[in-house]
Amino acid sequence: MSFKKIIILLITAFLIPGCCTQTKPVTEVKPAVPAAPLSQADQMRKKANIAEAASLIGYDGKAIKRDLNKIIDQQEKSAKQLEDLKGL
């Protein structure tokens, strides 16, 4: 076979599958329902999850995260007590 025929066969082989495919109609993407905003304590807990990465450099990341969560819990408890006192 000549070089010209091989090129034509290759081009045809690539074009035929593309001609037979059907495209799906574009559907509208519905916006996701916005989640309720996180409280300050929840935001700090999310940031505390990053502390586990400290284990990559030799620290005990799980212990650091646990300690941070204890501090966040204490802060949240204190804030709740303060709110209760404001109501008096």
Quote the tokens at residue 37. Answer: 């905003």
The residue-averaged pLDDT of 50-60 equals 84
The domain in which residue 75 lies consists of 38-88
In a domain, 20, yes or no: no
pLDDT surpassing 90 at residue 77: yes
In a domain, 5, yes or no: no
Instruction: Tally the domains of the chain.
Output: 1
- The CA distances from residue 56 to 52, 59, 65, in Å, are 8, 7, 14
In a domain, 53, yes or no: yes
Closest CA to 52 of 68, 39, 38, 75: 68
Quote the tokens at residue 32. Answer: 């996701």
Instruction: State how far the Cα of 59 lies from the Cα of 53, in Å rounded to an integer.
Output: 9
Q: Residue 67 has what pLDDT? A: 92
| pTM given for the model | 0.53
In a domain, 48, yes or no: yes
In a domain, 23, yes or no: no
Question: Higher confidence at residue 22 or residue 74?
Answer: 74
Q: What is the mean pLDDT of the chain?
A: 79
Cα distance from N-terminal residue to C-terminal residue, the chain: 97
Q: Residue 59 has what pLDDT? A: 84
